Amino acid sequence: MEQTISQLFDLSGKTAIVTGGAAGIGKAIAFRLAEAGANVVVSDINLDNARATVAEIRNAGFKARENQTDTSKPASAQRTIQETLAAFGDLHILVNNAGVYPFSSASDLTEEIWDRTLNINLKGTMFFAQAAAKAMMEKGHGGKIINLASVDAFHPTGNLAAYNASKGGVVMLTKALAQEWTPKGVTVNAIAPGPIMTSGAAAPAGLTQEQLAGMLQGVVATIPLGRIGQPDDIARVALFLASQGADFISGATIVADGGYLVG
């Protein structure tokens, strides 16, 4: 064996950006990458939340710094990459996690909801990936880009047409970028989470505790594993894709859904 398991998953000396890294899945990913030794930039539109997450990571003995960004704006991507290079001198990993999922029936879907969802979820993924890949290539060592898709890219759950379209786009965009950039040393992969228990999912607006309990029971019934996923279930997959263990993987979408799509 050329490397031990611990060496394969050691990210010491690497620098990673996690968009939407202040909460939920992004926060869990930021912690796992930092735990593996990476310098982590927690990039989020909510700067106060990003600072709080960075404080938690640092208190745990790991390295991190906050960054405020609006992933719907390509200029914000450029600024985030430059701030990262100024702070840590390099960039090796990008996790495009930031996203929104506004509920609306297709009949009532507005142009505003459509544009906001596609701009954050799909356009943001494209232009953050573009800015990061350029930096990685210029450094001459390549890197790893990990995009957050969703099982909704393959199976619509209802009243999320804009979100479904955006995540379907992320899956195909991942393949297209991998085709272009893998020969230049930048691998591009995606993760498609199933139902995950985040703060937003745990407290949907307008639901009573009884309604929430009923909804969650219904969701669990669709998952063969028998439970809703936790943010760390996705963070572990992200750690794998960011590590040398995934060096021969590019253009793939790893589904992490407890068997939901085959249930």
Give pLDDT, residue 206.
Answer: 53
Q: What is the mean pLDDT of the chain?
A: 95
With contact defined as beta carbons under 8 Å apart, do 66 and 80 qualify?
no
AA identity, residue 159: N
Residue in 163, 181, 240, 260 annotated catalytic: 163
What is the strand order of the sheet 186-193 is part of? Answer: 64-68, 39-44, 15-19, 93-96, 143-148, 186-193, 253-256
Give pLDDT, residue 225.
Answer: 96
pLDDT in tens, 122-169: 999 999 999 999 999 999 999 999 999 999 999 998 999 999 999 999
pLDDT in tens, 33-62: 999 999 999 999 999 999 999 999 999 999
* Higher per-residue pLDDT: 121 or 212: 121
pLDDT in tens, 84-120: 999 999 999 999 999 999 999 999 999 999 999 999 9
Question: Would you place residue 204 in the very low, low, confident or very high pLDDT band (cuts 50, 70, 90)?
Answer: low
- Is residue 101 annotated as a catalytic residue, yes or no? no
User: Phi, psi at residue 21, to the nearest 5°?
Assistant: -85, 5
Helix (H) / strand (E) containing 254? strand 253-256
Which one, of 130, 27, 121, 137, lies nearest residue 80 by Cα?
130
Helices 24-35 and 231-242 sit at what angle, rounded to 10 degrees?
50
Which one, of 258, 198, 238, lies nearest residue 19 by Cα?
238
Query: Is the pLDDT at 79 greater than 90, yes or no?
Result: yes
Give pLDDT, residue 1.
Answer: 62
Q: What is the pTM of this model?
A: 0.95
Start-to-end CA distance of the chain, whole Å, equals 38
Tell me the domain boundaries of the chain.
Answer: 5-194+230-254, 197-228
Query: Is the pLDDT at 247 greater than 90, yes or no?
Result: yes
**Per DSSP, what are the bridge partners of residue 67?**
43
Top CATH class, 5-194+230-254: alpha beta
